[in-house]
Amino acid sequence: MDKIEPRQSPMDDPLNVLKEFTAARIAIGRTGASIPLKQSLAFKLAHAHARDAVYSELDIDGITANLQQFELPVLHLHSQAAYREQYLQRPDLGRQLNEESIGQLTDRTTSGVDIAIMIADGLSAAAVNSNAVGLLKILIPQLQTAGLKLAPICLIKQGRVAIADDAGIYLNARLSIILIGERPGLSSADSMGAYLTFGPRPGLTDESRNCISNIRPHGLTFRPAAKKIFYLVQEAFKRKLSGVALKDNAGLLSEP
């Protein structure tokens, strides 16, 4: 058998000292030309977490039970994407509510509300399963204290960001906030995004929204995330807009 090459062990990698400067997978050593097994399996595990997150399911029962504390009605909605494989290939279907969901919303047409809060699986149900309620525990009391009227909370399966436009108009909401699972990265399978849209209506594009990204315990934590969202809500109502124009002037958003 050949002698094991000195650089096989990443411990011996002369570039170990550089690791403090980046989270990139540097100084991982090599065996022959190839990545050592330990590093290869670590990568595989990270990818497995991301893949599992993509196929995770929205925990309707768990989230609904946890939302009871806010004493708001909870609605269970579904996009036109019937299953995950279709969701992944047809983003257009994930942006629209199915007929049954529209029926549910039109049956209960009310006078307008200020804010419609929605929770959708997006590309990682795991992200909202673990982060949505924690964020809302801080955010909803703030919104209620400010005297803002909230719509029923909508849980949406197989939803994309723009489904908030569809739901927002049926809920007669002045502003929508959708909490949604972001595309999982190798280092973060549980990252949640919050998208805020003033005057939600079908046909809007991303430049009409403000996004707070990477909400999770090891990213942007709940309290600062809620603070940013609450700030954006106030500014959006004050200036009657959201999106690029709002973000440009929000000094608070540049804070870490």
Partner 1 sequence: MQYHHTIGKKTYRFSDLKTLLAKASPHRSGDVLAGLCAESYEERVAAQITLADVPLKIFLNEAIVPYEEDEITRLIIDSHDNLAFSIISSLTVGELRDWLLRDETDTLILKNLSPGITPEMAAAVSKLMRNQDLIAVAKKCEVITSFRDTIGLKGHFSTRLQPNHPTDDPKGIVASIIDGLLYGSGDAVIGINPATDSPAEVNNLLLLLDTLRQQFDIPTQSCVLCHITTTLELIRKGAPVDLCFQSIGGTEQSNASFGINLALLDEAYQATLSLKRGTIGNNVMYFETGQGSELSANAHQGVDQQTCEARAYAVARKYKPLLVNTVVGFIGPEYLYDGKQIIRAALEDHFCGKLLGLPMGVDVCYTNHAEADQDDMDNLLTLLGVAGCNFIMGIPGSDDIMLNYQSTSFHDALYIRKVLGLRPTPEFEQWLIRQGISDKHGKPTTQPDSRLLKEMRALWIK
Contacting residues toward partner 1, per CB under 8 A:
5-7, 14-15, 18-19, 21-28, 30, 32-35, 39, 43-44, 46-47, 50-51, 53-54, 88-92, 123, 183-187
By C-beta, is 26 or 65 nearer to partner 1? 26
By C-beta, is 54 or 75 nearer to partner 1? 54
Cβ contacts of 177 within 8 Å, gap of 6 or more? 115, 116, 117, 118, 164, 194, 195, 196, 229, 233
Please state the closest distance from residue 47 (CB atom) to partner 1, in A: 7
Q: Give the separation between CA 209 and CA 52, rounded to whole angstroms.
A: 28
Comparing C-alpha atoms, which of 133, 252, 115, 106 is closest to residue 197?
A: 115
Please state the closest distance from residue 49 (CB atom) to partner 1, in A: 9
By C-beta, is 157 or 174 nearer to partner 1? 157
| Contact yes or no for 167/159 (Cβ under 8 A) | no
Strand, helix or coil at 100?
helix
Please state the closest distance from residue 124 (CB atom) to partner 1, in A: 9
Q: Give the separation between CA 178 and CA 181, rounded to whole angstroms.
A: 10
By C-beta, is 21 or 83 nearer to partner 1? 21
Please state the closest distance from residue 143 (CB atom) to partner 1, in A: 31
